[in-house]
Structure 1
Amino acid sequence: MIIVLKPEATEVEAKEILAQIESVNLKPLYMPGTERIVLGALGDERILNNLNIGAHPMVENVKPILSTYKQVSRELQSHDTQVQFGDVTIGGGSFAIIAGPCAVENREQIFKSAELVKKYGAVGLRGGAFKPRTSPYSFQGLEEEGLQLLQEASKEYGLPCVTEIIDPAHVEMLEQYVDAFQIGARNMQNFKLLKAVGQSHKPAILKRGMSATIEELLLAAEYIYNEGNQNVIICERGIRTFEKATRNTLDLNAVAYIKTKSHLPVIVDPSHGTGIRELVGPMAKAAVACGADGVIVEAHYNPQVALSDGAQSLDEAHFAKLMNEIKPFIQAAGKVVA
């Protein structure tokens, strides 16, 4: 339920109502605005109705939250959430470009790739240390050694870094090395992992599952948010369809739709969404046009020797072209480069 207080309501009166909500084991939410205070109550609405909150002299109106995803919905919060990723703000009128290799392979590779993406204006560094691969014989990542190398490159080039987390037990370890977690498509509905990341305060980039609906994606975000971590970034990375020409079908209408239904920032991964190097640039520009708050792309100083995803990784020429050509699209969308 959403409880809108009258303009003259004070913080003390708001806390009295929140205490009533908590007394019947419902989850209270406190959302002070510029003009008035809005409260929320999550749980069995029949119990809330018995409290007769609407009769309180400082309550203007009470209305139900109709969407299944309560806290990440625009019904509960109309203004856009901004998430701080290192010293970079994602959301709120800026457009962030995060880039780097699929996986951290060795010191030379991650440092050269970080130098490359920094040179052309990326504001964040990506790189996987733990790699969930379809084949057990594929490169699985350097694990903690990879985290150490990623952190060193991040500090050397002044780029906040993000890596994929695949195990709830890794939260504490990863917190020491990275500025944000990435929850990959395969783990979008790993509910123990979502809860564990939700108990951290590190930003979480949540990727859409390969066959997930938009509602399932937003409910996965709700899991993280419900545990107390409000630093959630949605990532559209393409879904599996009958089309075989590209690795996935990049569902850009999902970006525009999510922006109308949720206050969370949304970024796009055109590398996984297409799987083809030459398509990354056009789809990144399309992501700007449909309202995305940023892109996360794969870039490697020498994709020909990459241990994973070389075919979709941008080399220096392609990355420079992308960074040059995307700027007019960002400006036309009324945003600024983060």
Structure 2
Amino acid sequence: MIVVMKRSATDADINAMIAHVESKGLKPNVIKGSERTVIAVVGDERIAGLGSLESGPGVDEVLPILAPYKLASRELKTEPTVVQARQMKVGGANIGVMAGPCSVESEEQILASAQAVKAAGATALRGGAFKPRTSPYSFQGMKEEGLKLLAAARDATGLAVVTEVVASEDVDLVSKYADVLQIGARNMQNYRLLEAAGKSPRPVLLKRGPSATVDEWLLAAEYILDAGNPNVMLCERGIRTFETHTRFTLPLASVPYVQAKTHLPVVIDPSHGTGHTHLVTAMARAAVAAGADGLIVEVHPNPDKAMSDGYQSMNFHQFAEMMKQCGRIAAAMDRELG
């Protein structure tokens, strides 16, 4: 349920309500909006004692949250959440762009990629140091050495670093080097990992599982929010259907639909969503037009020689052209791409 405080509520009133909720064995989550404060009460609402909450000092009203995901719901927070990492802003008037190679392969490769995507207007560098692959014989990433190269590229360019964490025991290590923790599609329902990421101070980019429903995706985000991390971005990277003409099916209707359900920003991954370089620009344009809050795109100095996902990676020229085209669409919608 939501405890909506009056505009005139004091800090003492809010702290008293927090203490009262905790005394009931429930968990309070405080959301401070531009006009008033609300407290999301999570737990068995039957023991809350609705009357005692409504009569609390400074309380305006107490409302139920009907959605199964409580903290992610727009019922709790009507204002869109804006997630920031260094210069990258995702949400609101900003369409954040994360770009770079699927995997870190060398110092020369990642630094060249960082310089190129920054020059084209991106504000974050993506790159995998840990690579969960379908085959155990495929390239698995450079691990901590790859993280060090990403951090060096950030030092040289100022870009925020977005990289995947694949196990709960690695969250602290990856957080040491990265600005944003990516949780990949395979791990969307790895609840131990979600909880660990929720305890990290780093924003989280949560990719939708290839067979996950929207509710399952939002409930996965709820694990991160419930653990204490409010900075969650949802990433639509395509779902598995019977079609074979693309790697996955990229449902751009997810953007307005999910935005109507949650205050969390929605990022689109047109690289995994299509699996073909020649389709990425068109789907990126469509994503911006649909109202996406961010893009994450695979870019490589030489896609033909990439150690992973070269068939869906853009070269530097293609990415720069994509940014120009998407920038024009963003401007027409009174938003800023970067």
Q: Which amino acid aligns with 2:291?
A: G
Aligned to 1:258: 258
2:69 paired with 1:69: yes
1:292-311 aligned within 5 A = 292-311=292-311
Aligned to 1:170: 170
SS of structure 1 residue aligned to 2:4 = strand
Aligned to 2:6: 6
Aligned to 2:220: 220
Alignment deviations for residues 151-198 of structure 1 (CA, whole Å, 9 cap, x no partner)? 111211221111110011111111121111100000000000000110
Tell me whether 90-99 or 31-40 shows the greater mean CA deviation. 31-40
User: Residues of 1 paired with 2:8 and 2:113: CA distance?
Assistant: 55
Aligned to 1:22: 22
Aligned to 1:247: 247
Aligned to 1:180: 180
Q: How far off is 1:317 after superposition?
A: 2.4
Aligned to 1:334: 334
2:103 paired with 1:92: no
User: Residues of 1 paired with 2:32 and 2:314: CA distance?
Assistant: 44
The question of whether the paired residues in 1 share the 8 Å contact of 2:326 and 2:337 is answered with no
Aligned to 1:115: 115
The question of whether the paired residues in 1 share the 8 Å contact of 2:114 and 2:125 is answered with yes
Q: How far off is 1:34 after superposition?
A: 3.6
Aligned to 1:106: 106
SS of structure 1 residue aligned to 2:89 = strand
Q: How far off is 1:51 after superposition?
A: 5.3
Q: Which runs of 5+ in 2 are unaligned?
A: none
Distance 1:298 1:11, change over 3 A: same
2:315 paired with 1:312: no
Distance 1:106 1:28, change over 3 A: same
Q: How far off is 1:304 after superposition?
A: 0.7
Normalised by the length of structure 2, the TM-score is 0.97
Q: How far off is 1:57 after superposition?
A: 5.7
Alignment deviations for residues 285-314 of structure 1 (CA, whole Å, 9 cap, x no partner)? 111111111100000010010000000000
How large is the RMSD of aligned CA atoms in angstroms? 1.3
Q: How many residues align?
A: 338
1:42-53 aligned within 5 A = 42-49=42-49, 52-53=52-53
SS of structure 1 residue aligned to 2:48 = helix
SS of structure 2 residue aligned to 1:52 = helix
Distance 1:126 1:33, change over 3 A: closer
User: Residues of 2 paired with 1:245 and 1:45: CA distance?
Assistant: 48
Q: How far off is 1:326 after superposition?
A: 1.0
User: Residues of 2 paired with 1:319 and 1:257: CA distance?
Assistant: 28
Q: How far off is 1:6 after superposition?
A: 2.9
Aligned to 2:135: 135
Alignment deviations for residues 104-142 of structure 1 (CA, whole Å, 9 cap, x no partner)? 011121122222212211111010011011111111111
Distance 1:243 1:56, change over 3 A: same
User: Residues of 2 paired with 1:144 and 1:277: CA distance?
Assistant: 29
Runs (4 or more) in structure 1 with deviation over 6 Å come to none
Aligned to 2:146: 146
Q: How far off is 1:19 after superposition?
A: 1.2
The question of whether the paired residues in 1 share the 8 Å contact of 2:2 and 2:63 is answered with yes
SS of structure 2 residue aligned to 1:97 = strand
Q: Which amino acid aligns with 1:14?
A: I
SS of structure 1 residue aligned to 2:12 = helix
Normalised by the length of structure 1, the TM-score is 0.97
User: Residues of 2 paired with 1:97 and 1:7: CA distance?
Assistant: 36
Q: Which amino acid aligns with 2:103?
A: A
SS of structure 2 residue aligned to 1:297 = strand
User: Residues of 2 paired with 1:119 and 1:54: CA distance?
Assistant: 54
User: Residues of 1 paired with 2:151 and 2:270: CA distance?
Assistant: 25
User: Residues of 2 paired with 1:142 and 1:185: CA distance?
Assistant: 20
Q: How far off is 1:316 after superposition?
A: 2.0
Tell me whether 203-212 or 5-14 shows the greater mean CA deviation. 5-14
Aligned-pair identity (%): 52
User: Residues of 1 paired with 2:113 and 2:37: CA distance?
Assistant: 47
User: Residues of 2 paired with 1:35 and 1:326: CA distance?
Assistant: 34
Q: Which runs of 5+ in 1 are unaligned?
A: none
SS of structure 1 residue aligned to 2:147 = helix
SS of structure 1 residue aligned to 2:182 = strand
Q: Which amino acid aligns with 2:269?
A: D
Distance 1:8 1:145, change over 3 A: closer
